[in-house]
Structure 1
Amino acid sequence: MTQSAAAPAAEKPAPAAPPPRKPALGLRLDVRTLSLLGVLAILVLVGGVTKPDEFLAVSNLQLVLTQASVIGVVTVGMTLVIISGGIDLSVGAIVALASVWATTVATQEFGFTGVLFTAVLVGVGCGLVNGVLIAYGRMVPFIATLAMLASARGLALQITDGSTQVVTIPEILDLGVKDAYVLGVPPLVIVFVVVVVIGWLLLNRTTFGRRTVAIGGNAEAARLAGIDVRRQRLYLYLLSGLCCGIAAFMLIILSGSGQNTNGNLYELDAIAAAIIGGTLLSGGRGTITGSVLGVLIFTTITNIFALNNLETATQQIAKGAIIVAAVLIQRRTAHE
């Protein structure tokens, strides 16, 4: 008996799936971090060449890190807000208000705890007002925080009447002397490191961080996915206010006083550091690590200019050029 049909031809094996590629975004972030480290290394080299004895001195490096710590804490909160698609122009004014409110004679009567609690409470309270206005009052973040900037600065001036409020609590003043350093590290730097680690964990290892990135990328899509966008934004401005309160207390330790001029232009420095670190002003992308490197770069530039007796105007021009370059790089990588 013959076969009525030919045997079907053997099927060719399906081609193997290509190995998964590393996301381009992750690669760009790694390159950006390495680039920032390279810029920081170049600045250290410039400082070491121009003023080797002064710049490379341990006391000067401690000073750079201490100065970076105060604005760095503010930048951590600012970075989270910008990643969510918001902005906070009031951080410097909140730092000023918290510092002067915490150093009044009435507050200092409660000692170390009273000053710390007041600074943090004022910061969180201002953040709460910002958050409520933006999240539930549907105000544009730029307008709401601009109003807080004016109000907080005005209230700080009214409290101090233009004078400096000197701190008389030994426990606070002692934290600013070298005897308080831990293995050569100033206490303010330790606080900064703790805040950075907590901020990094929040952004990269928690649902809170994923929700922050989601609402910054597309708030409506995040809402449809079940995220309470308004509550998340409220939490973010509360965190920003908390960071301002902590920074205000650090500034009190550093200067031994409270002044209505404290935190001047902190909002610009924090935003600039976040942009340098790769945070998109439109939201949806950013890193705490990059923002910290941005703070260190700006603080190092300021220190080098001061040691070389260069004009402040030239320093501001250099910072502006760096910001423009960072934004142009962002626009280029965003379209790749």
Structure 2
Amino acid sequence: MSADVTKADQTPPAAGSGTAPEEPKGGPAVGGAAARNAGAITGLLSGPAGRSAGLVLALVLLVVVGILTGGDRFASPENALTILRLGSVIGVVSVGMTFVISGGGIDLSVGAIVALSSVWATTVATQTMAANSHWIVMVFAAVAVGAGCGLVNGVLVAYGRIAPFIVTLAMLAAARGLAEIIAKRRTQIVRERGFIEFFGGSVLGVPVLVIMFALVAVIGWVLLNRTTFGRRTLAIGGNPEAARLAGIRVQRHTMYLYALLGVACGIAAVMLMARTTTGTSTHGQLYELDAIAAVVIGGTLLSGGRGTVVGTVLGVLIFTTLTNVFTLNNLDTSTQAVAKGAIIVAAVLLQQRVSRTRST
């Protein structure tokens, strides 16, 4: 007889009763139900819905702080659109970064790629071609340069077997330097009025830049959660060797991930050109840190294997709102940097705790 059998189970039924002993009231059934409920709640809180709820709560608290400290200046619709407009550029980069980090990689060159794409698309030659045909030439130039840089990163990481940190660090230096050479360290002005009017306009009061960010986020969510490409990305990030044994072409897929991020950088360059009406080698400063921070805050694992576009979008909004609150209260950028650093460390510690809880 096993050791976990209770005395009630061992007591024989009364003579002639013909019935089995009754189950103790409030016994295992109730305890088992409570344990199952507690487990369900824990699973919900540690799952995607729970993480998103936590991010929404953090964003709401930031909004409350902004209203209390900034008053009508923060609560105005114009300021809300300003927050969305400022977050749209880094948001597009962050969505692309979500795929690379989910696939087990990292990219430190996104800011430099944005700068190079903006410079290339605003050269005299490119703008002359746009003037003779259509401003869409500038868009193609920016996206093509971004995709090319991402493809170089992907080839070196996947087929050259060089650590992503080293490859993208080299691209950061090379792309920024090439942008300075092309622009001769000068700011290039966007002179194509059609380009500025289109991307600087609005639809039903919503800026085109915000709409572009929303479209990229929706496409990214569908690609990551509803396609084979997304499932393969998470599989590679979780265990590349197991993914290879399952028939996934890991090297080729990794190359595609970096190229996808390059395309996102090209789109972000177009948006930045429209917002500032310039192309310069100083564009995209520290974008790599902001994008990685937004992705990590959103719940994507730095080690790969789990990614969430919804979380990334919320992470971007949290950081952008935080910056807006600090700006309205005349707090310096150094204080903002300290706050961002503390938030990133807290998010990573929370990720580690959740991972340990799920593994036990």
Question: Structure 1 length normalisation: TM-score?
Answer: 0.91
Letter matched to residue 36 of structure 1: L
Aligned counterpart, 2:322: 301
Which residue of 161, 168, 173 corresponds with 1:145? Answer: 168
Q: Cα–Cα, structure 1 residues 327 and 115, in superposed 2: closer, same or farther, change >3 Å?
A: same
Q: How many residues align?
A: 317
Cα drift, residue 183 of structure 1:
1.4
Secondary structure at 1:335 match in 2: helix
Segments of structure 2 that go 5 or more residues without pairing to the other structure are 1-32
Tell me how far apart the structure 2 counterparts of residues 217 and 24 of structure 1 sit (CA, whole Å).
22
Tell me how far apart the structure 1 counterparts of residues 155 and 54 of structure 2 sit (CA, whole Å).
38
Tell me how far apart the structure 1 counterparts of residues 334 and 148 of structure 2 sit (CA, whole Å).
35
Aligned counterpart, 1:107: 126
Cα drift, residue 25 of structure 1:
5.9
Larger radius of gyration: 2
- Which 10-residue stretch deviates more, 45-54 or 277-286? 45-54
Aligned counterpart, 1:276: 297
Tell me how far apart the structure 2 counterparts of residues 210 and 81 of structure 1 sit (CA, whole Å).
13
Tell me how far apart the structure 1 counterparts of residues 191 and 242 of structure 2 sit (CA, whole Å).
52
Please state if 1:174 is matched with 2:197.
yes
Please state if 1:214 is matched with 2:235.
yes
Cα drift, residue 127 of structure 1:
0.6
Please state if 1:334 is matched with 2:355.
yes
Q: Cα–Cα, structure 1 residues 211 and 88, in superposed 2: closer, same or farther, change >3 Å?
A: same
Q: Cα–Cα, structure 1 residues 25 and 98, in superposed 2: closer, same or farther, change >3 Å?
A: farther
Please state if 1:132 is matched with 2:155.
yes
Equivalence map 1:304-315=2 (5 Å): 304-315=325-336
Aligned counterpart, 1:5: none
Cα drift, residue 284 of structure 1:
0.5
Q: Cα–Cα, structure 1 residues 117 and 203, in superposed 2: closer, same or farther, change >3 Å?
A: same
Aligned counterpart, 1:11: none
Letter matched to residue 54 of structure 1: R
Aligned counterpart, 1:241: 262
Tell me how far apart the structure 1 counterparts of residues 356 and 49 of structure 2 sit (CA, whole Å).
17
Contact 2:103 2:238 in 1 (8 A): yes
Please state if 1:95 is matched with 2:118.
no
Please state if 1:59 is matched with 2:75.
no
Please state if 1:31 is matched with 2:50.
yes
Cα drift, residue 55 of structure 1:
1.1
Tell me how far apart the structure 2 counterparts of residues 45 and 156 of structure 1 sit (CA, whole Å).
41
Tell me how far apart the structure 2 counterparts of residues 175 and 49 of structure 1 sit (CA, whole Å).
36
Q: Cα–Cα, structure 1 residues 317 and 252, in superposed 2: closer, same or farther, change >3 Å?
A: same
Tell me how far apart the structure 2 counterparts of residues 71 and 208 of structure 1 sit (CA, whole Å).
23
- CA offsets 1:193-242 (integer angstroms, 9 cap, x no match): 11001100011000110100001000000000100000110110110000
Please state if 1:193 is matched with 2:236.
no
Q: Cα–Cα, structure 1 residues 125 and 25, in superposed 2: closer, same or farther, change >3 Å?
A: farther
Q: Cα–Cα, structure 1 residues 24 and 283, in superposed 2: closer, same or farther, change >3 Å?
A: farther
Letter matched to residue 173 of structure 1: I
Cα drift, residue 175 of structure 1:
3.2
Please state if 1:70 is matched with 2:93.
no
- CA offsets 1:262-293 (integer angstroms, 9 cap, x no match): 00000000000000001111100120000110
Please state if 1:41 is matched with 2:96.
no
> CA RMSD of the aligned region, Å?
1.6
- CA offsets 1:148-180 (integer angstroms, 9 cap, x no match): 000000001111111110001111221354xx2
Aligned counterpart, 2:10: none
Tell me how far apart the structure 2 counterparts of residues 71 and 22 of structure 1 sit (CA, whole Å).
36
Which residue of 259, 272, 295 corresponds with 1:251? Answer: 272
* Fraction of identical pairs, as percent: 61
Letter matched to residue 187 of structure 2: T
Contact 2:199 2:271 in 1 (8 A): no
Contact 2:196 2:277 in 1 (8 A): yes
Tell me how far apart the structure 2 counterparts of residues 26 and 286 of structure 1 sit (CA, whole Å).
17
Segments of structure 1 that go 5 or more residues without pairing to the other structure are 1-17
Aligned counterpart, 2:27: none
Aligned counterpart, 2:143: 120
Tell me how far apart the structure 2 counterparts of residues 164 and 59 of structure 1 sit (CA, whole Å).
29
Question: Structure 2 length normalisation: TM-score?
Answer: 0.85
Letter matched to residue 202 of structure 2: Y
User: Runs (4+) of structure 1 moved beyond 2 Å?
Assistant: 18-27
